[in-house]
Structure formats: C-alpha cells, structure tokens
Amino acid sequence: MIVTLAALALVEGLFLIGYAVYDVIEAFRTGITGPAEVSNPAALLGLIAITAIFGAGLVWISWGWWNGRSWARSPFVFAQLIIGFIGYELSQSTDDGPRTIGQVAMVVAVVAIVMSFLPSVRRVLAADDAPAEGE
C-alpha cells in the first residue's frame, strides 16, 4: 500500500510540474490569455510558481512514502484535500472535459486519503516512529 501511495503522489507531482511547463510553453506560444485578473505576467508567473512548487512537494512526499516515513502522511492528506476541492470546482463546469477531470480528481483524493489511514499503512508508519535501539 505504501508503494501505491508513493506512486500516486509521484504521478500527481509530475503532472503538476508538467502542467507548469505547459503553461510556460503556452505563454510563449500564444501569449497571456484568459480573464483580466489573470491575464498579466505577474499572475501567470504566480500560477506557474505555485503549480511547480506544489508538484515538487508531492514528489518529495512520494519519496517519504517510498521510504515509509511517517511525516509523509500529513502533507499528503493536505494535498489531497486541496486536489479534492479543486476537483469539486472543476466538477461544477458545464463542459464535459473539466467536469470529468474534476470528478476523477475528487474520487482519487478521497480514495488516497482513505488509503493513507489503512491498518497496513499505519503499521509501516508506526515502525518509522519506533525508537531505534539504544535510544
């Protein structure tokens, strides 16, 4: 189960980093477009930075899951909550594409949160919390 959580965090992180790169490419290719409040260089740069940092954080969390580190659960659950809220907003779209992506994001977020508290995961994380011999 830990491997699955690590893979999920890695895929989510790489997706977000890829999306940040996509935003950079699109900005150079087509210019800055969209609603007035986000159609300026500062807003685009902020979006790219936040997306890339969030993605890098999920890659770091993936490393923590892979190594059975107990600290990985809290930021992972927090990230899934954010992904779930974003998914909810997308699921309210009238277009099929964003609505489907939002619904999938919400399901993945809920399943990931449940998985992170399964007994098999708790056992692995409890072993990380146990004091080493001689402490």
pLDDT of residue 123: 87
* Contacts with 69 (C-beta within 8 Å, 6 or more apart), sequence order: 125, 128
Indicate the pLDDT class of residue 29, thresholds 50, 70 and 90. confident
Counting the structural domains of the chain, the total is 1
Taking the complete model, does pTM exceed 0.85, yes or no?
no
Q: Is 43 part of any domain?
A: yes
The pLDDT value recorded for residue 129 is 64
Q: Tell me if 90 sits within 8 A of 105, measured CB to CB.
A: yes
- Domain range for 25 is 2-129
Q: Would the pLDDT of 88 be above 60? A: yes
What mean pLDDT, rounded, does the chain reach?
A: 88
Residues 37-80 pLDDT 10s: 667 888 889 989 999 999 999 999 999 999 989 899 999 999 99
- Please report whether residue 135 resides in a domain: no
In a domain, 13, yes or no: yes
